[in-house]
Amino acid sequence: MIRAPILEDSVLKKTTQRNEIVDALTLQDLCRFCQAEESWVIELVGHGVLEPVGSSVEHWRFRGMSIVRAKKACRLNRDLGINTAGVAMVLDLLDERDAALRRLARYEMLSSGEVDQ
Amino acid sequence: MDFKDYYKALGVAPDASADEIKRAFRKGARKYHPDINTDAGAEASFKDVNEAYEVLKDPEKRAAYDQLRNGPPPNEGQYQPPPDWDSGYRFSEGGPQSDEGFSDFFENLFRRGQGPGQKRYAERGADSHARLQIDIEDAYQGATRTLSMRTPVVGPDGMITMKDRNISVRIPAGVSEGQHIRLAGQGTPSPGGTAGDLFLEVSFAPHPVYRPDGKDLYLDLPITPWEAALGGHVVMPTPGGKVDLRIPANARNGQKMRLKGKGLPGTPPGDIYATLEIVNPKVSTDKARALFEQMAKEMPFDPRAHLGG
């Protein structure tokens, strides 16, 4: 994890680089981005892990959450050897866990003033 | 460089069998995987576990490493391997399949001839991936940050050196958690062709006030008992500027107010959800005491009526 320090003003003026938010990727773009095979991405779509817009494979566009999920799915497969069905379940459970953790954080904050008698 | 204890990283004994090492690696990889474990140190632990396994799974590398490990102890933390430490052992290069390199210790001793994820004469350099933690405020206004990357670079003599470089990144306004910023041409350079791209996965640093969920932000908004009872307007600071929030009369503790479009910018922008939290003032003056006593006397109110008994 990189924690970026605040930049000095003197360095700022030299920044003329191209950068952009990654969005609306084609199947080929997504495969390059995730370093994955097309057949694996198509399988992920088949399991409902990724939901591209567009009627046919050639017209697929992967946006927002689908890009994040694709990258996670590829890492989980590469690093832990989890197959498509397993990845689909892990990602769903992670979403549920994160939602539960957010709710828990809220309740912990509300009850932080507890006093024993 | 520091000596790395790969047996400790996997939590196994130095005489562990190949099967035990594989089991420990699989368990550790599952436990520390950065997509699963959100603790701050998980990513570093995951890297350690992978690096340790990369060496210990290969009998030749393990034997060479064991010989080093049983050699003279490191001198004040600055480890230098003896010359020709690896003579008599043959192993091929290996390393992480993507992203940054392993530790200096690994890069110096076990990597031969090529950088991570890079074919030596590829037409196009490999893409690099890294994570970037920003503040929620940065996502509203946009910001410029500089980050330093350590990448192994192949010199003209075929030797690997770790090179530090500073890259300045313009964070576009409206970026949300999990999105990626692409920096064209900032990935791994290629001797014969164009450099790859650098992708930065954005996450938000924990914020004392806001809890992000996609483009929405959640917070607890403290209000006074009389603001809750009478209703009215309160001024609430948000990362996008101050907003006027209307509290309904007889507001309840825990009641959720939605500020449409005031969340993270985008098309459409997110919302802010403020949960009302009624805070009692501390009674410290006679005047305050008198006011509460007057309420106690003149307001018939039993919040425990529904408890029965």
B222 forms bridges with which residues in the sheet?
A: B277
A104 vs B94, residue with greater confidence: A104
Q: Between A2, A72, A105, which is nearest B132 by CB?
A: A2
Give the C-alpha separation, B112 to A97, whole Å: 42
CA distance B221 to chain A (A): 11
Q: Are B210 and B204 in contact (CB under 8 A)?
A: no
Q: What is the DSSP letter of A5?
A: P
Res A9: pLDDT:
38
Q: Do B130 and A17 touch (CB under 8 A)?
A: no
SS3 content of chain A, % helix, strand, coil (to 5): 60, 10, 35
- Mean of all residue pLDDT scores within chain B: 84
User: Minimum mean pLDDT among A16-20, B5-9, B161-165, B216-220: which range?
Assistant: A16-20
- pLDDT for residue A8 is more than 50: no
User: Minimum mean pLDDT among A11-20, B104-113, B195-204: which range?
Assistant: A11-20
Chain A residues with beta carbon closer than 8 angstroms to that of B148: 2
CA distance B183 to chain A (A): 5
For residue B163, what are the contacts with CB-CB under 8 A and spacing of at least 6? B150, B151, B152, B153
Q: Do B169 and A19 touch (CB under 8 A)?
A: yes
Res B85: pLDDT:
66
Mean pLDDT of B196-218: 89
Res B115: pLDDT:
46
- pLDDT for residue B284 is more than 90: yes
Give residue A115's pLDDT band: very low, low, confident or very high (50, 70, 90).
low
Give the C-alpha separation, B215 to B212, whole Å: 7
CA distance B293 to chain A (A): 24
What is the pTM for the complete model shown? 0.70
Query: What is the per-residue pLDDT across B26-84, written as a single tens digit (0 to 9) for each?
Result: 999 999 998 999 888 898 999 999 999 999 998 888 988 888 888 766 555 567 676 66
Q: Do B132 and A76 touch (CB under 8 A)?
A: no
CATH architecture of B117-206: Sandwich (2.60)
Nearest Cα residue to A43 out of A85, A82, A71, A94: A85
**CA dihedral in degrees (B63, B69, B72, B76; nearest 10)?**
150
Give residue B111's pLDDT band: very low, low, confident or very high (50, 70, 90).
low
Give the C-alpha separation, B138 to B204, whole Å: 9
Asked if B33 reaches chain A (Cβ–Cβ under 8 Å), the answer is yes
- pLDDT for residue B127 is more than 50: yes
Indicate the angle between helix axes B42-56 and B18-32, nearest 10 degrees: 160
CATH architecture of B211-301: Sandwich (2.60)
Domain ranges, ordered by start, for chain A: 21-110
Give residue B98's pLDDT band: very low, low, confident or very high (50, 70, 90).
very low
Strands (E), chain B: 128-134, 143-154, 160-171, 180-183, 198-204, 211-213, 216-223, 232-238, 241-247, 256-259, 272-278
Given the candidates 1.10.10.10, 3.40.640.10, 1.10.287.110, 3.40.50.12160, the CATH classification of the domain at B1-112 is 1.10.287.110
- pLDDT for residue B181 is more than 80: yes
Give me the residues of B, 125-164, that contact A with CB < 8 A. 127, 130-134, 144-149
Q: Between B35, B183, B185, which is nearest A76 by CB?
A: B35
In terms of Cβ atoms closer than 10 Å to its own Cβ (0-12, 13-18, 19+), residue B242 is: exposed
Mean pLDDT of B147-163: 73
Res B163: pLDDT:
76
Query: What is the per-residue pLDDT across A78-108, written as a single tens digit (0 to 9) for each?
Result: 999 999 999 999 999 999 998 898 888 777 7
Q: Do B127 and A33 touch (CB under 8 A)?
A: yes
Q: Do A22 and B181 touch (CB under 8 A)?
A: yes
Cα distances from B155 to residues A71, B120, B230, in angstroms, run 31, 11, 73
- pLDDT for residue B247 is more than 80: yes
Give the C-alpha separation, B40 to B33, whole Å: 12
What ipTM did this prediction achieve?
0.74
Res B121: pLDDT:
47
Distance between the two ends of chain A, CA-based, in angstroms?
A: 43
Domain A21-110 falls in which CATH fold?
Answer: Multidrug-efflux Transporter Regulator; Chain: A; Domain 2 (1.10.1660)
Give the C-alpha separation, B167 to B180, whole Å: 16
Chain A residues with beta carbon closer than 8 angstroms to that of B172: 19-21
Chain A residues with beta carbon closer than 8 angstroms to that of B50: 79
Give me the residues of B, 96-125, that contact A with CB < 8 A. 97-98
Query: What is the per-residue pLDDT across A22-80, written as a single tens digit (0 to 9) for each?
Result: 888 999 999 999 989 999 999 999 999 999 999 899 999 998 788 989 999 999 999 99
Domain ranges, ordered by start, for chain B: 1-112, 117-206, 211-301
Res B292: pLDDT:
93
Give me the residues of B, 55-94, that contact A with CB < 8 A. none
> 10 Å Cβ neighbour count for B276?
22
Give the C-alpha separation, B188 to B180, whole Å: 17
Give residue B93's pLDDT band: very low, low, confident or very high (50, 70, 90).
low
Chain B residues with beta carbon closer than 8 angstroms to that of A72: 35
